Chain A
């Protein structure tokens, strides 16, 4: 496994570990939800996790706790208000009785004195209850403030974690891109250093190139093997996960999914032998026309000399412009023409064409196949 692959795997593993940790936190958080307040219907763990995201669950948990403390504050404030009212009423009663005492006889005065004493005891008890409620209010408010502070702190921690994680991923990707660029530069420099193989070789422009590339040069062949579009060629081993039932149908090839240049070249060849068939100048876009021209060059050269040496030369020159895989695909376009002649004709929807034209196309495609050496 090369360093590039190791870097990518390390990044993926790091992200996976973070996700697993988040899952653990979610599991324990969800387990606590059912214990919170009778106001909220307890939710089963599975149903909750299926409905809400982790972040939503955390927000819900925090909101439940805040609402609980808010309810506690309001409840205790209500109780405290009730106690204050009661105390006020009792105090008024005491004042009234004391007034009566001033104008009463000694016997009634003693009775009133005992009443006042009982009521003042009740007032003291209620004052103690009031103090309890006020203490509970203070505690609940302090808890509420702590929750807000914790939430702010959690948000800061979470944002910091995400920032560090993002930096780590970006760093790993930048490192992977840098290695990819270095490898590509090494390949290009290597190819340019091999005699006769430079894509800037003036001989290439004069069509007097070395038609016998040094296929014994290990660097050349190794670079051919390593070069390709995308990162697929930088891995050495691939496991087959699945063999699909369906097979790749030819019409998909013709629509350009496999051999953009190959199909373009084939279209050009058919158009050349049956002018007007594709109305090439009027219906094709500018990009397609340039593809057709390039495909034409490749198909013509392969048709004129399908030897291995020539194919390698085409690969070398084409790879400097379009990429090795694309050029190989163009060559394989011809292969599919050879092996699937009738279906190639059909996929261009020529069912309504006159039989003569159809036969011309059939002959043309066979001619192309013969020109390809088979």
Chain B
């Protein structure tokens, strides 16, 4: 599990900072931004050592909902 403010180097050779992370419905969700391009953000969930982009509408709705609570 990653922690907030952690910096991860992903396999696109970019450094990302964990802006937020939380557990929801048994999944670990991670919201990241590119350290060098802050407008490049990723909405992902952990799958072993992989980060999978969330694109399912229902799942994304819950993700945004949770993010909003944490603001």
Contacts and interface: CB of A to CB of B under 8 A. Distances in A.
Interface of A: 215-218, 220-222, 224-226, 228-230, 232-233, 235-244, 246-248, 257-260, 302, 306-308, 311-312, 323-326, 328-329, 331-332, 334-335, 372-374
B42 A215 contact: no
7 contacts: A222-B55, A228-B39, A240-B50, A241-B11, A242-B8, A243-B9, A308-B64
- The range of chain B's interface size is 35 or more
Nearest to B71: A335
A238 B42 contact: yes
A374 B70 CA distance: 9
B49 interface: yes
Contacts of A311: 64, 68, 71
Contacts of B53: 225, 233, 235-238
A244 B40 contact: no
B38 to A, nearest CB: 4
A230 B34 contact: yes
B40 A224 contact: no
B24 interface: no
A18 to B, nearest CB: 21
A221 B60 contact: yes
Nearest to B68: A308
CB-CB nearest 9 A-B residue pairs: A229-B39, A325-B39, A221-B57, A242-B9, A239-B11, A218-B57, A247-B5, A325-B41, A244-B7
Interface in B13-40: 13-15, 17, 19-20, 33-40
Contact of B9 (A241, A247, A326, A332): A241
Contact of B71 (A236, A240, A332): A332
Interface of B: 2, 5-15, 17, 19-20, 33-44, 47, 49-55, 57, 60-61, 64-65, 68, 70-71
A232 B40 contact: yes
Given A222-B55, A232-B34, A329-B33, A241 B40 contact: no
A320 B35 CA distance: 23
A326 B60 CA distance: 18
Contact of B39 (A221, A329, A372): A329
A259 B44 contact: no
A329 B64 contact: no
A228 to B, nearest CB: 6
Given A240-B49, A311-B64, A326-B38, 7 more contacts: A222-B60, A236-B55, A242-B9, A257-B35, A311-B71, A329-B41, A331-B71
